[in-house]
Structure 1
């Protein structure tokens, strides 16, 4: 498709979702946003409806983004006022319209998608979640590159043939139950805070049947989308960091090319895609999963359940830690080795003394330093290998260690 024909087909779709004129385009802000900033927004709105050249509109939109970005990155995130997040989202909207209003190139389209994602990640919803509607239109125009090089696929298969799976004894093995009733689950596992592997409870998920979450599928649905990624062997390591990249880049760099190992033989890269943000940002993936029925036994409603995504290559590790809520960990792709400890044995697990990591153990679970942590071996534990279709119930405050045996995609549900 030429850039001219693309513009002719794209802009009518974008303009159709915009307000028909300035009078119907809301720009209402509190006194927390300065008058000069509001005037810049109004100017950008006016330019949108008066035939101002795209280059000039792009300059105005970038000024709004630069000013609001500074506000978003001053102090801690929780202290950023929502009004400034809305300003940032409006800046993203105006920039996308400028990029796509005349003759967008393929690079312009990719930049527009990235801009929408930045607004969804850093901004706040505006005009009935306009950026979410806009990015769906743009995605259909972006050429989907779902081809995965054959040698990478072969290398991946070779690596999956010999995963390092620990031998699990009968005494340590977590119980497995197939589709228990709500009453049975509550009585036998929820109330006594007893971990269990649930089988057959998510077989109806589209992610496991109608739309299996292969790399090809993930690339076709969301490959061009920019997502937050955590990079490093584990979050307690000094080299751990966070960055933004497209899902295509993440898969190519950290999933398909995950044969760069550290001196200890472990893969030094793990990728956690933004926790719950991934599903809020990309509803197509959220449509492929379902809330476990057992969450209805909690005190809150569906909106109180936090959904998290965990996607990474073989060898990624979550250090031994505990969470303040119950957790259903649903395995969609690959297998994971998981070990659990009771909160009653916390002292034997040597939590970090710092407040920041007080919920994380200092011990390398599968290679413990017995001289530094002599009581660790005295702590009893249960363990399992979680396979696709399995759901692990991790009771609140139970310590858990996780290692991906293969390329893995899991979804966790935190609830109280």
Structure 2
């Protein structure tokens, strides 16, 4: 029995998705919610007009796939105008759905609009894939090769972008397809991309893995740098390193029982468990060994050569004026922000810093992939880490404010934190217990007790956003590490004076370390070098 190629499986997956979306929409339109299948569809809330529009596009895509046969051409050849119209209508459906996102807080957004956006994206992906020439068993005739339906080879980046937007913006919603379908499609697309780089068949992409010294991958999708003198790990340079003044209590590879005892038997019953630095706790993670995240070529191999989209924060800190967010490719994040020297291009020259303080401004803005659920977007990287056993213990509630406690989580919440030197997470607290794992580089962390909350000067609502878990105090400015981004008034001078006397503990996280941050503890985090961390929230 001949095993189906990744390309063949991907085309079959797309054909099935188009058929399924069409049938689901038709069921909703013909039977309404009295039909059992219709009643279980989240699309029902979008209304018949949009469901009908989605159904017609799904039918068009399904007809283009037809039955899987060697020619694989559309059953009825579409003109360029007809193809453009299908893509425009799919984009229109996604735009209408996305406009609804602004009418609700994301947690209150009806799932119908998220699924509508996701299904439109799936159909766009499937339709775009049709413009990719097949090879091997599913090849076109010589006259068609390389230009099915009169189009050039599809851009891999456009395929990836379509599904990444569905993940990032809409949460890949949908019980029948949704995230499961998207994850599988991206997995098969990656295999086909690697096969194409080898010349083994699959799909012919116009943007193959780059064969140059610039950040690249080899034909196996693994890290490769053709310049032997070119560095293949992130820089460990630290422009500035704050002193550790009041070290956090430290332990070595604590057992589960010892960690539970640390929480159950605190030194101060009123305060509860205190922060704990656990050295060498994750030394066996693949991300520190067999599949090292400190190697940019490995990270590129897991992101289609850097073409996956990621959301980043632009600016020194999320409380600074001018701070913003945008979506960029992972490759742009690496080459333009994380470690520009890796690309072989010259970074903008900067005057040497003659003081013990870090530069207050840089030629390039700081970009930070911060608190992003990267591992639901990139399951391959999720396989490189392990949820620490400590996250399955029974921690105590908030020591001073029960209203902060959240409903119990079924599983820990995982988020990635990846950025260059100088990234700052301002002084804040979290509604969960937190284990922060350091995988690449070093970070400075300072923590203040929840008993000192009054001296943290919490923010209120700002621009309609609740900021009560974030302090008005800028630790870097107070310590003289950073230039104040504002003119201090008399009130802020008084609050800073009171804050300076507040006791704290601090540490520098090294690769392989875990830092336990109890619920309610205020913490300030500063990237010292290129840094990649993972936070695990649990309760």
For the criterion TM > 0.5, the same-fold answer is yes
Verify: 1:82 aligned to 2:111, yes or no.
Answer: yes
- Equivalent residue for 1:101? 130
The runs of 5 or more residues in structure 2 that have no matched partner are: 26-37, 65-75, 134-151, 194-206, 216-224, 267-272, 342-346, 351-357, 396-406, 479-491
How far off its partner does 1:371 sit? 4.7
Structure 2 residue 243 is the aligned partner of structure 1 residue 167: yes
CA apart distance, 1:263: 6.6
Aligned CA distance change for structure 1 residues 122 and 406 (closer, same or farther; 3 Å): same
1:296 aligned residue: 392
Sort the Cα spacing of 1:329 and 1:263 in 2 relative to 1 into closer, same or farther, 3 A: closer
Distance in 2 (alpha carbons) for counterparts of 1:76 and 1:354 = 15
Of the candidates 14, 19, 22, which is equivalent to residue 19 of structure 2? 22
Please, what TM-score do these two structures have when normalized by structure 1? 0.87
Cα distance in 1 for residues equivalent to 2:367 and 2:461: 24
**Conserved? CA contact 2:442–2:531, under 8 Å:** yes
Q: Which residue of 2 aligns with 1:125?
A: 174
Q: 1:127 to 1:393 in 2, by over 3 A?
A: same
**SS of the residue 1:375 aligns to:** helix
- Could you give the per-residue CA deviations for residues 270-298 of structure 1, whole angstroms, max 9, x where no partner exists? 3125522x111110111111111011113
Equivalent position of 1:6 in the other structure: none
CA contact (8 A) 1:153 1:256 kept: no
Residue 228 of structure 1 corresponds to which residue in structure 2? 311
Counterpart check, 1:46 vs 2:59: yes
Q: TM-score if structure 2 supplies the norm length? A: 0.68
Query: Deviation at 1:23?
Result: 6.7
> 2:368 matched to which residue of 1?
271
Please give the alpha-carbon distance, in whole angstroms, between the structure 1 residues aligned to 2:525 and 2:20: 54
1:346 paired to 2:471 = no
Pick closer, same or farther for the CA change 1:10–1:288 going to 2, 3 Å.
closer
Contact residue 89 and residue 126 of structure 1 kept, 8 A: no
Alpha-carbon offset, residue 395 of structure 1: 0.5
Find the residue that maps to 2:319 and give its secondary structure.
coil
Distance 1:99 1:274, change over 3 A: farther
Report how far residue 107 of structure 1 moved: 5.3
Instruction: For residue 253 of structure 1, report the CA deviation from its aligned partner.
Output: 1.5
Residue among 487, 493, 500 paired with 1:377:
500
Separation of aligned partners in 2, 1:189 and 1:204: 25
Q: Is the 8 A contact 2:157 2:307 kept in 1?
A: yes
Partner of 2:291: 211
Q: Give the whole-Å Cα distance in 1 for the aligned partners of 2:432 and 2:175.
A: 31
Residue 254 of structure 1 corresponds to 337
> 1:121 deviation in Å?
1.8
Q: 2:439 aligned to 332, 335, 340, which one?
A: 332
Distance 1:26 1:246 in 2: 33
| Alpha-carbon distance in 2 for matches of 1:410, 1:37 | 42
Taking the aligned partners of 1:40 and 1:409, their CA distance within structure 2 comes to: 44
Structure 1 residues 47-66: aligned runs within 5 Å? 47-51=60-64, 53=78, 54-66=83-95
Deviation at 1:74, TM superposition (A): 3.0
Give deviations 1:286-316, integer Å, cap 9, x for gaps. 1111111011113788743111100000011
Shift in alpha-carbon separation, 1:99–1:217, aligned structure 2, 3 A: same
Number of paired residues?
Answer: 403
Alpha-carbon distance change, 14 to 43 in structure 1, aligned in 2, over 3 angstroms: same
Rg larger for: 2
Q: Distance in 2 between matches of 1:292 and 1:202?
A: 8
Give yes or no for contact 1:182–1:294 (8 Å, CA) kept in 2: yes
Question: Please, what is the CA RMSD of the aligned residues?
Answer: 2.9
Consecutive unaligned residues of structure 1, counting only runs of 5 or more, are 1-8
Question: Would the aligned equivalents of 1:227 and 1:274 in 2 still touch at CA under 8 Å?
Answer: no
Residues 1:84 and 1:201: Cα distance change in structure 2 (over 3 Å):
same
Change (3 A) 1:245 1:126: farther
- Alignment match, 1:200: 280
Residue 281 of structure 1, aligned match among 374, 377, 400: 377
1:37 maps to what in 2?
50
Moved more, 221-230 or 16-25: 16-25
Matching residue of 1:358: 468
Q: Cα offset for 1:246?
A: 1.0
CA contact (8 A) 1:340 1:382 kept: yes
Task: Give distance in 1, aligned partners of 2:460 and 2:101.
Answer: 31
